[in-house]
Structure formats: C-alpha cells, structure tokens
Amino acid sequence: MNIHSQHKIDYLLYLADTALILGQRLGEWCGHGPVLEQDIAMTNISLDYIGRSRLLYQYIATLTESDEDRLAFLRDEREFKNVLLAEHPNVDFAYTVARQFLLEAFHFPYYSELKNSSDLQLAAIAEKTVKETAYHLKWSAEWMIRLGDGTEISHQKIQTALNELWSFTGELFDPADYETFMLQESIAPDLNSINKSWKEKVQQVISEATLTMPENQWMQSGGKQGIHTEAMGFILTEMQYMQRSYPGLTW
Amino acid sequence: MLRIDLEGHFQEKIDREERIEAKDWMPEAYRKTLIRQISQHAHSEIVGMLPEGNWISRAPSLKRKAILLAKIQDEAGHGLYLYSACETLGIDRDELLNELHTGKAKYSSIFNYPALTWADMGAIGWLVDGAAIMNQIPLCRTSYGPYSRAMIRICKEESFHQRQGYEIMLTLSRGSTVQKNMAQDALNRWWWPSIMMFGPNDSDSTHSAQSIKWKIKRFSNDELRQRFIDMTVPQAELIGLKIPDPDLKWNEERKSYDFGKINWDEFWNVVKGNGPCNKQRLRDRVKAHEDGAWVRDAAVAYAEKKRSGRVN
Ligand SMILES: [Fe+2]
Ligand SMILES: [Fe+2]
C-alpha cells in the first residue's frame, strides 16, 4: 500500500470512527431520556451517526478488502482515530447536549466544505451528511439555549458541561498528518476556515443562551492518533463483545 | 332516567359500529376502563424499551445495531401515540407516569423477564411483538376513536418488528451450533411468558365481558392465545426450532394445536412484582424520570420566558 492510500484510509477512519463512537454514546440514552420526545430525538441522531459510519466504513472496505463490521468490531483501541470529544461519557443531559453542540457546530461547516472534495465518493457522503447535520445542529443549539436560559440549575449544569468539554475542542482543529496530506490533495477541507465558522456559531449560541465563553485553556488531544481516554476501552469492550466472543460468524 | 337514556344511546352507537370520540358522552366506567387499558399499553411500550435497549451497545453488527435502535425508537413512538390517546380522556401524561412510577399502574409482565443473549432480540421481536400484534390487530377496530387510530399506526410497525425478530432467529438457525443453541435457548425462555401475554384464561378474566360488550375488546384472551400458538408453531418448525412444550400436539378435530398447562402461579407472581426484573425495570424508569426533572423544568421555564417576552 502506498503512502497516499494509507493517509486516505487513516483520514476516512478518523471520520468513520468519530461517527460510530458518538452514535454508540448517544445510543446509551435510548430508553433513559429525560422526556419521551427527547429520547426519540437522541435515538434519531444516534441512528444518523451509525448510518454515516457505515457509509464511510463501506467505502474504506472497498480500499482495504475489509468489511464494515470487521472495521468496527475487530480493530483495537489504538487503531481507532475518533476525536476524544466523541467518546466522552454522557454524564448527564447537559454534557450530552454540550458535546453534541460543540461537535455539530464543527460538523456543519466541515461537511458543507467536504461536499466539494475532489474525492467524489466522499463528496456524496458529505452531501447526505450535511442535511442531517443541519437538524442536529438546530436540535443541540436549541437545547443549549433552553438550558442556558432556563432555570438557575439548568444554567449552572450546562455551563459546567461546556467548561469541562471545552478542552476537547482544540483537537478538532489540530490536523493530524493524514489530514494535512488530504488537504493537499483537495480531499479534506481547510480547518482554518472551519474554525472561523465554528467560533462564530459557538459564540452566537453561547451568548443567546446567556452563558459565558469558557476561558482559553490547555487542549487535550490524541484521539486522531489513537491515544484515547480511559473511557474508550469500555466502549469497545461492550461494542465489540459479540464479534470478539464468537469470531467469524454471521448475525 | 336521563342517565339510562344516555347509556342506551351510547350502547346503540357502539352496536352500530360507530366510533366514540373524545367529546362524546361516555359512561364513567367506560372512560376508566379505557384509561386503564391505554395507559397500561403505553407503559408497556416504554418499559418494553429497556430489555432490548440492553443490547444496543452490544449488537453484533452495525446493521443489527441500526435496526435495533430504530425498532426501540418505534416503541417510544408508540408510547407517545398512546399517551396522547389517553390524554383525550382527560388525564395528562404526568399523572399517568406517576401511576407507573408508584406501582399503581401496570405494564405488560413480559418485560419483567431479562434479555440475556443476542438471540433474545430475535425471540422478543418474533414472539413478544408477534403476541402484541395478535392482541392489537382487533384493537384497530376498538370502539374508542383515538385509541383505534393510534392502533392502526402502531400495528403497521409491529408487524415489521415481528418479521425482523424472526429474521434474527432464522439467521441464527442457519448459523453455527453455538448460534442454533442460542436461538433454541431464547425460545425456551420466552415461549411461556409470551403465551401468558394474552392474560388469564377467560374463566378467570375480570374485565373481559364488559369490555367485549363495549367493543373495546373483540376476542377473548383464550381465542387470541390459540391463534398465536397456531400461527407460531409452524414458524418455529420452519427454522428447525422446538417449542418447549411436550404436550403440544395438532388436534385435527379442532384444526388447532392443543398445548400444555400454563404456569399461572408464575404469571401472577410476576404480575405481583416477583419477576426477575420488576424492581430493576421500575427503578430504571423512575431514575430516568427523576434525572430528567431539571431538564423538563428548564424547558418549561424557558418557554414561559419566551411567552412573557412576546407579550411585553
Ligand atoms: Fe410497540
Ligand atoms: Fe414492537
């Protein structure tokens, strides 16, 4: 395999793993949501992310002679390239909303740009993704505002979540080698312009939510290189349990 | 005198197969029966999300994970339709949930059994959703309009669930020995609880006669149970699984299967709260509700701020 295709596979894995792990996290809410309507909304979003990961894994499978389930269930933790924010535990509804909003505010401009990728298959996946992301962004921004400008308790909870998750946002804009390579090939978008739209959106929603922008702080990173938080091992243990326990079977 | 006329008029309407709507006069007992039945049904949908939800994170393939999530989401949707139908009878969702959480209202006992292996996702879809459909198809013609309309939407989705569950069992039965055993084990554990889902024998059923007269119910528990068994036995045979009932035998005269004695002792014990998961299920529901209280409060507070903001 040449260096070009290895970078491309790593890049696609970064997108696919981020989608799958976030989908897996959101799925934990199913049956436990704060109100039936929001239980349904979070399951909806989870389904979109799992669907997105499947499209990406299926694409990767054509480049690696693998299949979507081998990619999802038979790789080890160090091979997963999702951002750390995606694997962050749900904690409570405030953390879940803040995590979702920070990622959607990134995904919306990101996939909008990715529609212009020189890789046509990726562009087609981005086309579909942007539509659902618009809804996810609306949902999460509305809840940021509702919780921020709701009660004193909800204000405090969402501010705490925002402050804590903030340190995971730097990684979104810190390109891994494979991203830089893909940018040079006009396959991946330029993170600088995405960062600008992200900041604008985040500032606008935080202000409407009567929240305070978190202070500049040290940013966590590592996910894109496969160095994860302690939470990741448990996610994979559960997620991969069947395929690891009963190798090679069809379900 | 007036009351008798109203009741007579009401019964005539039902006998003419006309639907009763929310604003129509109805006997208090009819309203109460409906609230009990619809809310019990709504609670079953949302408590029923828990045993299957237990397997979302562990589904064996991405496709199965997506199907399972979508299925459970459908059940949440059913809960919504049914709570809304119930609200047309003048009781709100909070009150209904409170009855569930305090143990005053019941939900289908089947969900007090544990979902232990992946094959249980097959068995639940095939048998539990299958039995639910058997119960629910006649409810599409139930006399109360909002309930019957909710049931029409729900039944369409339930038959999907049943096919998806059966398809999981089919795949397992074509798989390795381990998978076949997993499927048979799930059938062994879910069979009897599933046929208990139709409720006590007609001779012991307290609510049946009046409900049939009001056309809330159209078939008796035993009739529906027999239909379910007659439908399901050949499906099990087709995929090489054995129904765990040594007394199960085709009765040529009745053109139906005879079957063994149901353990009603177990049934009543699970109803009373002694099933393997009663406490856990209720605790999970109560926890989700209590943990969500501040979220619902925030939504109300925000909506009020916006409303008063517009007025000013
Ligand atoms: Fe249902
Ligand atoms: Fe169902």
Length of chain A in terms of residues written: 251
**Most B CBs within 10 Å: which of A22, A30, A53, as the mutation test of the B interface?**
A30
Q: How much is the pLDDT for A141?
A: 98
Q: What spacing in Å lies between the alpha carbon of A239 and ligand 1's midpoint?
A: 26
pLDDT bracket for residue B208 (50, 70, 90): confident
Q: What is the average pLDDT across B245-256? A: 98
**Which parts of B54-144 fold into alpha helices (H)?**
62-87, 93-101, 119-123, 130-136
**Most A CBs within 10 Å: which of B61, B75, B181, B284, as the mutation test of the A interface?**
B61
Q: How much is the pLDDT for B5?
A: 85
Q: How much is the pLDDT for B203?
A: 86
8 A C-beta contact, residue B71 and residue B89? no
Q: How much is the pLDDT for B32?
A: 95
8 A C-beta contact, residue A228 and residue A222? yes
The CATH class that applies to domain A3-245 reads mainly alpha
* ipTM rounded to 2 decimals: 0.97
Q: Closest partner residue to A28 among B57, B287, B294, by Cβ?
A: B57
3-state secondary structure chain A: CCHHHHHHHHHHHHHHHHHHHHHHHHHCCCCCCCCHHHHHHHHHHHHHHHHHHHHHHHHHHHHHCCCHHHHHHCCCHHHCCCCHHHHCCCCCHHHHHHHHHHHHHHHHHHHHHHCCCCCHHHHHHHHHHHHHHHHHHHHHHHHHHHHHCCCHHHHHHHHHHHHHHHHHCHHHHCCCHHHHHHHHCCCCCCHHHHHHHHHHHHHHHHHHCCCCCCCCCCCCCCHHHCCCCCHHHHHHHHHCHHHHHCCCCCC
Q: How much is the pLDDT for B78?
A: 97
**Most B CBs within 10 Å: which of A26, A42, A43, as the mutation test of the B interface?**
A43
| Cα–Cα separations (whole angstroms), residue B250 to B230, B233, B255, B257 | 9, 10, 7, 4
Q: What is the dihedral angle through the alpha carbons of A203, A209, A211, A213, rounded to the nearest 10 degrees?
A: -10
| Cα–Cα separations (whole angstroms), residue A191 to A167, A174, A186, A194, B207 | 18, 8, 12, 5, 66
Find the range with the poorest average confidence among B84-93, B203-212, B284-293.
B203-212
Q: How much is the pLDDT for B158?
A: 93
Q: How much is the pLDDT for B217?
A: 84
Q: How much is the pLDDT for B210?
A: 84
Q: How do residues A131-144 score in pLDDT, each as one tens digit?
A: 999 999 999 999 99
- Give the closest residue to B45 by CA, choosing from B93, B116, B117, B10: B93
Q: Reply yes or no on whether the pLDDT at B311 is more than 70.
A: no
Q: Reply yes or no on whether the pLDDT at B301 is more than 80.
A: yes
**Which parts of chain B fold into alpha helices (H)?**
2-15, 28-47, 49-53, 62-87, 93-101, 119-123, 130-136, 145-173, 177-196, 208-213, 221-238, 264-269, 278-291, 293-311
0.80 cut: is pTM over it?
A: yes
Q: Where are the domains of chain A?
A: 3-245
Q: Reply yes or no on whether the pLDDT at B101 is more than 60.
A: yes
Could you give the angle at the alpha carbon of A43 between the alpha carbons of B278 and A106, nearest 5°? 145
Q: What is the pLDDT along chain A (251 residues), one digit of tens a residue?
A: 677 799 999 999 999 999 999 999 999 999 999 999 999 999 999 999 999 999 999 999 999 999 999 999 999 999 999 999 999 999 999 999 999 999 999 999 999 999 999 999 999 999 999 999 999 999 999 999 999 999 999 999 999 999 999 999 999 999 999 999 999 999 999 999 999 999 999 999 999 999 999 998 999 999 999 999 999 999 999 999 999 999 999 99
Q: How much is the pLDDT for B209?
A: 80
Supply the mean pLDDT for chain B.
95
What are A191's two structure tokens?
């993170």
Q: How do residues B185-197 score in pLDDT, each as one tens digit?
A: 999 999 999 999 9
Q: Quick check: B298 and A154 CB within 8 A?
A: yes
Q: What is the average pLDDT across B257-270? A: 97
Measured in whole angstroms, how far is the alpha carbon of residue B74 from the centre of its chain? 13
Q: How do residues B39-80 score in pLDDT, each as one tens digit?
A: 999 999 999 999 999 999 999 999 999 999 999 999 999 999
Q: Quick check: B295 and A93 CB within 8 A?
A: yes
Q: How much is the pLDDT for B2?
A: 59
Q: How much is the pLDDT for B266?
A: 96
Q: How many CB atoms lie within 10 A of CB B248?
A: 16
b/e burial code for range A196-230 (CB count within 10 A of at least 16 → b): ebbeebbeebbeebebeebeeeeebbebbebebbe
pLDDT bracket for residue B4 (50, 70, 90): low
Q: How much is the pLDDT for B191?
A: 98
Length of chain B in terms of residues written: 312
Q: How do residues B120-156 score in pLDDT, each as one tens digit?
A: 999 999 999 999 999 999 999 999 999 999 999 999 9
Selected residues 56-75 of chain A with any CB under 8 Å from a CB in chain B: 57, 68-69, 72-73
Q: How do residues B20-49 score in pLDDT, each as one tens digit?
A: 999 999 999 999 999 999 999 999 999 999
Q: Quick check: B73 and A47 CB within 8 A?
A: yes
B107 inside 8 A of chain A by CB: no
Q: Quick check: B291 and A145 CB within 8 A?
A: no
Proximal ligand: closest to the CA of B121 = 2
Q: How much is the pLDDT for B309?
A: 81
Q: What is the dihedral angle through the alpha carbons of B32, B47, B286, B59, rounded to the nearest 10 degrees?
A: -170
8 A C-beta contact, residue B155 and residue B136? yes
Q: What is the average pLDDT across B268-285? A: 96
